[in-house]
């Protein structure tokens, strides 16, 4: 019945939807439908053009209110593709859109989170963090500018999703997994370096045997291996995190407690 | 003098409130301590103190990511209030950690509360759609960012009002081993982010690369970017050889029509 007048979305309509999504993203985040409301809100003006009929519009919106969560870059790709499907097939595409979203949001979030939330902030954060400690804001400024550029990349991803649609995403298919693993390789080598450089713990306790003084840190631990204590502490925390009872917050409190007690007895030094 | 203080107070609250909206949406400054801290430094007019504090919290935060909608300590808010208190009272990094860390931890609870309230908002928006009040739904959505801004805006208001006095009092009463202990904790805390990252990533499969990264940094003193480049070299090799395996598997299963696979390798 919607054959008579098929509305084409203009480039401006698409850009508008992309901007709305990449602003609202997690700003209506809730535990039940997570990013769902933001998706519905972002696509609403574009969907209104596709569905002049109120009942169809309602059905389409309700569809997008369903549970949804993925990394925003990847979401731009997915939502661009879903919008293209709805423009082509109208409300008949409802179920296909829903299954496209639910089947892709997980795997794409795997790549997206690794790149956007793990690798990028870890590398930028450690470089700019050390620069800041030396009083140099350059790292922070570069990071800030890169994030602005990155925001426009997200808008571009929406267009890519819209024009190349499901074809592109499904052809990524099996390579997606390899790509995620490759990103993890970079990530894990960086994490290995972080253990040695960023985690700081030392026990400069001095023992005295007769006339011989022995500093526990420089005389024993450093002789065995550099960054021995950070490595051991990392191992301990990694195992604690495997236990459901040890939430990150509890572990932070534990670390603070150990530090306070250790400093009180002079085992650690600030 | 107090006029400038008032302007600073207002800007600090606005910055803190906007930070969460940005973190949830645009992700331009997000909650990354060095970026947020640089802006705070400009507001407070003391870049040296601000950068030291921001750098400290940035390293503490490495690896801490709110993945899949999980909550994590808010080191961004810790940076803002830490710098504010340190500059205003002239007490430096020790008071920044002593105030920032607890505030950042408490902010987790506020995030949980905000998300529960937003749950009601989501239901209201859906009811609007059911009633064909489409315009109303579009307007009500703005309560989302408004509520989330309170998550960091409210603590900032409290700190701006009471912070400096309370901090002066605390530093006066609390023995030095406590503030020293918190500084020690600041050095150790990056371990939590590192541990969370390890839990999230395929450690068992790629243990070798953690060891490579560790040895490069600990023994050979290679910087993070250098380690990342070596990691990238390994990742590139892995990607090429694994892709080839997938392709070969595809060729053995269906011999004809594999033209489309060719353009990916180069």
Q: Which of A36, A39, A125 to mutate to test the interface with B (most CBs of B within 10 A)?
A: A125
Residue B41 pLDDT more than 90? yes
Angle among Cα A176, A178, A182 to the nearest 5 degrees reads: 115
Residue A238 pLDDT more than 90? yes
CB-based contact A192 B217, cutoff 8 Å: yes
Per-residue pLDDT, A31: 83
Per-residue pLDDT, A173: 63
- For residue B65, the distance in angstroms to the closest alpha carbon of chain A comes to 6
- % pLDDT > 70, chain B: 91
CB-based contact A256 B181, cutoff 8 Å: yes
Residue B134 pLDDT more than 90? yes
Nearest CA among A46, A74, A202, A90 for reference residue B138: A46
CA distance B223 to A193: 8
CA distance B194 to B62: 7
Residue B244: CA count within 13 A, CB half-sphere:
7
Per-residue pLDDT, B216: 95
Per-residue pLDDT, B149: 95
CB B167 within 8 A of CB A54: no
Per-residue pLDDT, B260: 46
Residue B262 pLDDT more than 70? no
Question: Maximum distance among all alpha carbons in chain B?
Answer: 80
Q: Is B38 on the interface with A (CB under 8 A)?
A: yes
Instruction: Give the count of beta carbons closer than 10 Å to the beta carbon of residue A226.
Output: 16
Q: Which of B19, B26, B52, B135 to mutate to test the interface with A (most CBs of A within 10 A)?
A: B26
Q: Which residue has the tokens 């002066």?
A: B168
CB pairs under 8 A between A and B: 384
- % pLDDT > 90, chain B: 52
Q: Give tens-digit pLDDT for B222-255.
A: 988 899 899 999 999 999 998 888 777 777 665 5
User: Which of A114, A147, A196 is nearest residue B28 as measured by Cβ atoms?
Assistant: A147
Instruction: Give the count of beta carbons closer than 10 Å to the beta carbon of residue B210.
Output: 22
- For residue A47, the distance in angstroms to the closest alpha carbon of chain B comes to 11
Judging contacts by C-beta atoms under 8 Å, the chain B residues touching residue A147 are 27-30, 35
Per-residue pLDDT, B182: 83
pTM over 0.90: no
Interface of B with A in 47-76 (CB under 8 A): 47-48, 51-52, 54-56, 58-59, 61-69, 72-73
- % pLDDT > 90, chain A: 38
Sign of CA dihedral B71, A257, B59, B198: negative
CA distance A79 to A57: 17
Residue A153: CA count within 13 A, CB half-sphere:
12
Residue A268 pLDDT more than 90? no
Sign of CA dihedral B200, B201, B204, B205: positive
Q: Give tens-digit pLDDT for B168-199.
A: 777 777 788 888 888 888 888 888 888 888 88
pLDDT greater at residue B219 or residue A219 = B219
- For residue A9, the distance in angstroms to the closest alpha carbon of chain B comes to 19
* Average pLDDT value for residue range B50-71: 80
Q: Give tens-digit pLDDT for A35-94.
A: 999 999 999 999 999 999 999 999 999 999 999 988 888 899 899 999 998 988 888 888
Q: Give tens-digit pLDDT for A180-223.
A: 888 889 889 988 998 998 888 888 888 888 888 888 888 888 88
- ipTM of the modeled complex: 0.82
Residue B136 pLDDT more than 70? yes
Residue B206 pLDDT more than 90? yes
In terms of Cβ atoms closer than 10 Å to its own Cβ (0-12, 13-18, 19+), residue B133 is middle
* H helix intervals, A198-247: 222-224, 228-241
Q: What is the pairing mode between strands A212-215 and A206-209? A: antiparallel
Per-residue pLDDT, B66: 59
Q: Is A269 on the interface with B (CB under 8 A)?
A: yes
Per-residue pLDDT, B263: 45
CB-based contact A126 B28, cutoff 8 Å: no
């Amino acid at each position: 019945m919607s054959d008579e007048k098929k509305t084409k979305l203009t480039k401006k309509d698409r850009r508008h939807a992309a901007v709305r999504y990449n602003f609202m993203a997690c700003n209506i985040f809730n535990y039940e439908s997570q990013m769902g409301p933001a998706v519905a809100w972002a696509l609403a003006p574009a969907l209104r053009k596709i569905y002049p009929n109120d009942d169809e519009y309602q059905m389409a919106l309700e569809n997008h209110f369903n549970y949804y969560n993925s990394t925003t870059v990847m979401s731009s790709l997915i939502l661009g593709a879903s919008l293209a499907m709805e423009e082509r097939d109208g409300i008949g595409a409802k179920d296909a859109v829903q299954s496209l979203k639910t089947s892709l949001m997980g795997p794409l979030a795997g790549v997206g989170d690794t790149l956007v939330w793990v690798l990028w902030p870890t590398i930028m954060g450690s470089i700019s963090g050390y620069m800041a400690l030396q009083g140099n804001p350059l790292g922070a400024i570069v990071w800030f500018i890169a994030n602005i550029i990155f925001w426009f990349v997200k808008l571009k991803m929406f267009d890519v999703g819209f024009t190349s649609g499901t074809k592109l995403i499904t052809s990524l298919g099996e390579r997606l997994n390899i790509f995620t693993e490759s990103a993890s390789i970079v990530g894990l080598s960086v994490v290995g370096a972080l253990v040695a450089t960023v985690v700081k713990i030392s026990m400069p306790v001095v023992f005295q045997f007769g006339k011989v003084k022995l500093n526990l840190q420089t005389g024993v631990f450093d002789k065995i291996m550099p960054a021995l204590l950070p490595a051991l502490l990392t191992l301990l925390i990694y195992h604690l995190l495997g236990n459901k009872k040890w939430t990150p917050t509890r572990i932070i409190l534990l670390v603070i407690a150990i530090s306070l007690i250790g400093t009180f007895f002079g085992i650690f030094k600030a | 003098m107090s006029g400038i203080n008032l302007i600073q107070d207002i800007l600090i609250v606005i910055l803190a409130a906007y930070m969460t909206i940005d973190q949830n949406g645009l992700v331009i400054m997000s909650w990354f301590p060095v970026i947020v801290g640089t802006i705070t430094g400009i507001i407070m007019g003391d870049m040296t103190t601000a950068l030291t504090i921001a750098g400290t919290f940035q390293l503490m935060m490495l690896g801490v990511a709110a993945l899949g909608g999980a909550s994590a300590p808010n080191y961004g808010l810790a940076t803002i209030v830490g710098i504010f208190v340190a500059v205003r009272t002239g007490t430096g990094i020790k008071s920044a950690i002593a105030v920032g860390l607890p505030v950042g931890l408490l902010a987790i609870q506020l995030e949980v509360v905000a998300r529960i309230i937003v749950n009601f908002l989501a239901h209201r928006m859906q009811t609007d759609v059911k009633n064909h009040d489409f315009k109303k739904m579009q307007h009500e959505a703005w309560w989302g960012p408004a509520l989330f801004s309170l998550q960091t805006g409210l603590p900032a208001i409290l700190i701006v009002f009471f912070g400096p006095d309370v901090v002066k009092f605390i530093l006066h009463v609390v023995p030095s081993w406590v503030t020293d202990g918190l500084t020690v904790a600041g050095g150790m805390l990056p371990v939590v982010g590192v541990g969370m990252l390890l839990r999230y990533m395929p450690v068992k499969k790629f243990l070798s690369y953690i060891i490579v990264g560790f040895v490069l940094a600990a023994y050979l003193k290679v910087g993070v970017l250098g380690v990342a480049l070596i990691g990238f070299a390994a990742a590139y090799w892995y990607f090429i050889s694994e892709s080839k395996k997938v392709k070969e598997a595809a060729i053995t299963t269906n011999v004809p029509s594999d033209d489309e696979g060719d353009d990916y390798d180069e």
